[in-house]
Chains A and B, each alone.
Chain A
């Protein structure tokens, strides 16, 4: 785990002091809201529907128990006893009061955390595969590179006033769990013919109102070239990007308007210019960071306790079957703790639950926790013999829901329950879908499926890349939900296709049920996943089931 240097600590404290004064001047009336708003956004403080919201970065989703404990403390002391983990590996506090924000930021700084660049037209929190450093399929832990990118992008003088926000995601595995193809820059670790690790660089992916899948700008970039190459990309976009129109400002539009060949040529030209300025200092820094991410001291112990519990306890078995993933070390497992209890808000954890997770990490997990973009918490390094105890403690804390990757493991943005930009609610839709399929006892039979819900066109809930995507809109003053099918956020990324006209608030859960029943009827076997079945049969059987014989007519009218 990376720990702040003296420089980092001093920088963060300076920013806290500066922002505290700005808050003071806002409260005493010397700053107007127009003057204050850009300042608070630079520090991750939004004003939502009912209250302020503070967005705290969890760089590349990695935490230790001290950080998690502190997030719990903040939730209890200054919020309403819970926090909301987001698809961008941030935590959002929904109820801070303006005068308390300096104290919250101070408490974050105490554990090496902050809310800087979690908003605004800057390079945002660099997100990473939540199984980094643990996954069996990984080439190398991508987090040292993510930390290098974080240091480079934080307060980078050239990149504070860009055309729009900029998001980078990174994975060290061929199986993409970090949605790299839906980011402004996606970095996927690959090996060249000589077997050396480097990066396939993707550019121009993004969701929002114009969803696009990232394209390869460079099939193999040596690790040593990473910073200058990323700097070249951002700098070309910073110059070309459409500042005249915020809907055309993201790099995906710049790449689409100029064409990948032109864009690549400009990046190569800029890269050639700046490469010599990177004299190797960045590589020395990277080497030092890599040391901080050294693998924990894994132990070699028998796993009989695990086998015994697996054989004897059906509740444990069901949880083990859905919530564990393969670890690169024999005898170890990756545990996903579901924050998707049926009927609860996806991604929310109470302060008590945060403390339980911190404690489990401390006692059994080499003091590591991760936040996934799917709004769950991961214990990346757990010896199998400890799993029965962990499961028992999770059960007591209401954290043992066995549903990872299933229909109730839904991503949902805050929607109109909190977000000022929302056009419809998303949280209650997620709650009702989860509750409905739990009642039907169909969840395990349906198998792997990803439902993702956004409360407006901005797509914070990743609906475009959900196997089933739900987008909440305002149609003539009532909530209306559009459905897309066949989206995919992995290495085989695809944007979902719309089924047709949307559904009213009380029609959306039955519509999802219709889709699922159609899938169960159409699939060749229980092994054929929803997405594979959809790819084989296409959208028509689903349209027919949703809209009946007039499916075509209604689709045209939409």
Chain B
């Protein structure tokens, strides 16, 4: 039996600022994990990644990261993605500043 597909989000770093970004359903890039498009289908995931890789002048290093549905939108699964979504733990820098 084929393995169940783990839902994904497309994530990358912003070319200018380097900040972590996510692809939304509307083909926009957002800084919030919860606003990302949660992709539940493997073929669609590949298409979305192709789209992201076509945006060379905006983003760097796009890839698919495991995610799961949460009350406010998609949430990271792995702790690395959780740190990327949140920012460093030693200072309230990065996303933690802009969100405050």
Give A contacts to B, CB under 8 Å: 26-29, 32-33, 47-52, 80, 94-95, 97-99, 345, 416-418, 422, 425, 427-428, 431, 474, 477-479
Contact = CB atoms under 8 A, between A and B. Distances in A.
Nearest to B78: A477
A99 B88 CA distance: 23
B93 A80 contact: yes
Contacts of B91: 80, 345
B16 A416 contact: no
B88 A417 contact: yes
A442 to B, nearest CB: 24
Chain B interface main SS type:
loop
A52 B61 CA distance: 13
Contacts of B79: 416, 474, 477-479
Which of A32, A48, A50, A428 has the largest number of chain B CB atoms within 10 A? A50
A26 B59 CA distance: 11
15 contacts: A29-B56, A33-B56, A47-B60, A51-B19, A51-B94, A95-B18, A97-B16, A97-B18, A98-B15, A99-B16, A417-B90, A427-B88, A427-B89, A477-B77, A477-B78
B13 interface: yes
Given A345-B90, A416-B83, A49 B15 contact: no
B48 to A, nearest CB: 18
Interface residues of B, number: 25
B18 A48 contact: yes
B44 interface: no
B53 to A, nearest CB: 10
Which of B16, B57, B60, B88 has the largest number of chain A CB atoms within 10 A? B88
B39 interface: no
Given A416-B80, A416-B83, A474-B80, A50 B18 contact: yes
Given A51-B19, A95-B18, 14 more contacts: A28-B57, A33-B60, A48-B18, A50-B18, A50-B94, A51-B18, A52-B18, A94-B93, A98-B15, A345-B91, A418-B88, A425-B83, A478-B79, A479-B79
B81 to A, nearest CB: 10
Interface string B62-100: 000000000000000111100110011111011100000
Nearest to B86: A50
Contacts of B17: 51, 97-98
Contacts of A33: 56, 60-61
A417 B83 contact: yes
A477 B87 CA distance: 18
Contacts of A27: 15-16, 57
Contacts of B19: 50-51
Which of A51, A416, A422 has the largest number of chain B CB atoms within 10 A? A51
B52 interface: no
Contact of B89 (A26, A99, A428, A474): A428
B23 interface: no
Contact of A98 (B18, B61, B95): B18
B14 to A, nearest CB: 9
B20 interface: yes
Given A26-B15, A33-B56, A49 B20 contact: yes
A80 B91 CA distance: 10
Interface in B22-60: 56-57, 60
B93 A95 contact: yes
A431 B91 CA distance: 12
What 3 A-B pairs have minimum CB-CB distances, sorted nearest first?
Answer: A29-B57, A51-B18, A417-B88
Contacts of B16: 27, 97-99
B97 to A, nearest CB: 9
Given A29-B57, A477-B79, A479-B79, A50 B20 contact: yes
Contacts of A47: 13, 18, 60-61
A29 B59 CA distance: 11
Contacts of A52: 18
Given A26-B15, A32-B56, A98-B15, A49 B84 contact: yes
Nearest to B66: A477
A51 B83 CA distance: 13
A422 B80 CA distance: 9
A474 B78 CA distance: 10
A53 to B, nearest CB: 8
A422 B83 CA distance: 11
Nearest to A53: B18
Nearest to B84: A49
